[in-house]
Amino acid sequence: MIPFIPALNENRVIAESLRGIDQRIKAENKGVFSEAVILFDHVPVHRTLPYSGYDGYAVAGRSLRFALTDPRPDAREPRRPYYVSDKEANVSLADSEVVSLEQAWRWLTDWKQSKALLREQIVQRHQVWRNSREAAASDLRAREYERVRSDPDPLPLPPQIWGPEQERAWQADTDRGEVAAYQELQAWDGYPRSVTVFLVGNIGPCDGCKARLKVFLYELSAELFPKALVMVKAVYTGDQCKRGVRGTTDRLETEYGYPDRAEQQEFRLDGEPLRRAWVRLVTAWPVRQ
Ligand SMILES: [Zn+2]
């Protein structure tokens, strides 16, 4: 494979995602949006739409996998990193990132289910093929056996139905079919070798959402794609990192974006202005089950 193609794919799909977010901001004059972009083996396979926090419950319902909050009094969501307070998790519950991660998780779960169904179909199709081949050959073999066994006298023996030559050709064809089926299944089981999810937005993720990204990465890797190399990156425009205060009565300080190891990259679509965004690799938060 030509090595620069994956980078081109990624650059392009992120540029499209940034454009989608720009268009929503233009249409609504303001807002904070994010969307998830999913790639298998460096090829884009899905984009959620750009969501705002307001889309949250309407799009994803009330049961949000990455809310990391527990509605019961004094209960602590066990997957949430210790350094994220209940208040932090609750104040960021309706952030656009929560919806985007939810939608990405749902798409990936659905994809895995349909993949399992298709795999079953491949196996069944192969079994039907194998059975019909066996049935056809054993019928001819049985007829040949009857022919040889019959007493030719006084009649001449009827022409040969099946012999070593047919047996060899049959075996060679069968071998080819078995190998092809094995390879098809092997390719199927090994796909995707890598899963990359970009969470693209017009502001860096807050402290609560940075923790959500870590849990998302961990669960994606441990539960959905244990055999693939899984990567999650936060991609965002605006400041690399800025402090902010949330909540009206109950004020809470948070930090948007990453103070460290975020790299500014350029994204371009043909005939459109250059877009710059921060890209930061997410590391996992191991969830104790
Ligand atoms: Zn947030």
Per-residue pLDDT tens over the stretch 174-192: 999 999 999 999 999 999 9
Residue 253 clears pLDDT 80, i.e. is over it: yes
Separation of alpha carbons 198 and 38, rounded Å: 7
Residue 12 clears pLDDT 50, i.e. is over it: yes
Domain boundaries, the chain: 4-111+192-281, 115-189
Over residues 109-132, the mean pLDDT reads: 96
Residue range 191-212, pLDDT digits in tens: 999 999 999 999 999 999 999 9
Q: Give the pLDDT score at 289.
A: 53
> Exposed, middle or buried by CB within 10 Å (0-12, 13-18, 19+), for 238?
middle
Between the CA of 9 and the centroid of ligand 1 the distance, in Å, is: 27
Q: Give the pLDDT score at 1.
A: 45
Residue range 22-31, pLDDT digits in tens: 999 999 888 8
Q: Give the pLDDT score at 4.
A: 52
Q: Give the pLDDT score at 152.
A: 67
Please name which of 209, 221, 207, 235 lies closest in space to residue 286, comparing C-alpha atoms. Answer: 221
| Most confident stretch, 3-7, 120-124, 248-252 | 120-124
Between the CA of 144 and the centroid of ligand 1 the distance, in Å, is: 76
pLDDT bin (cut points 50, 70, 90) of residue 287 is: confident
Between the CA of 272 and the centroid of ligand 1 the distance, in Å, is: 29
Task: Give the strand pairing for 43-47 and 33-40.
Answer: antiparallel
Q: In this structure, how many other beta carbons lie within 10 angstroms of the beta carbon of residue 181?
A: 17
Between the CA of 180 and the centroid of ligand 1 the distance, in Å, is: 48
Over residues 246-257, the mean pLDDT reads: 88
Q: Which pair of structure tokens corresponds to residue 126?
A: 């192969």
Between the CA of 33 and the centroid of ligand 1 the distance, in Å, is: 11
What value does the mean pLDDT of the chain take? 91
Between the CA of 52 and the centroid of ligand 1 the distance, in Å, is: 11
Residue range 58-104, pLDDT digits in tens: 776 778 899 999 888 888 999 999 999 999 998 898 899 999 999 99
Between the CA of 146 and the centroid of ligand 1 the distance, in Å, is: 79
Separation of alpha carbons 273 and 275, rounded Å: 6
Between the CA of 32 and the centroid of ligand 1 the distance, in Å, is: 10
Between the CA of 257 and the centroid of ligand 1 the distance, in Å, is: 10
Contacts of residue 272, defined as CB under 8 A and 6 or more positions apart, other chains included, come to: 15, 19
Residue range 149-164, pLDDT digits in tens: 877 676 777 889 999 9
Q: Give the pLDDT score at 247.
A: 79
Between the CA of 205 and the centroid of ligand 1 the distance, in Å, is: 5
CA dist 65 → 12, 74, 82, 160, 219 (Å) = 29, 19, 18, 68, 11
pLDDT bin (cut points 50, 70, 90) of residue 5 is: low
Question: What are the φ/ψ torsions at residue 184 (nearest 5 degrees)?
Answer: -60, -45
Between the CA of 53 and the centroid of ligand 1 the distance, in Å, is: 9
Between the CA of 211 and the centroid of ligand 1 the distance, in Å, is: 9
Separation of alpha carbons 177 and 137, rounded Å: 15
Between the CA of 267 and the centroid of ligand 1 the distance, in Å, is: 24
Separation of alpha carbons 53 and 56, rounded Å: 5
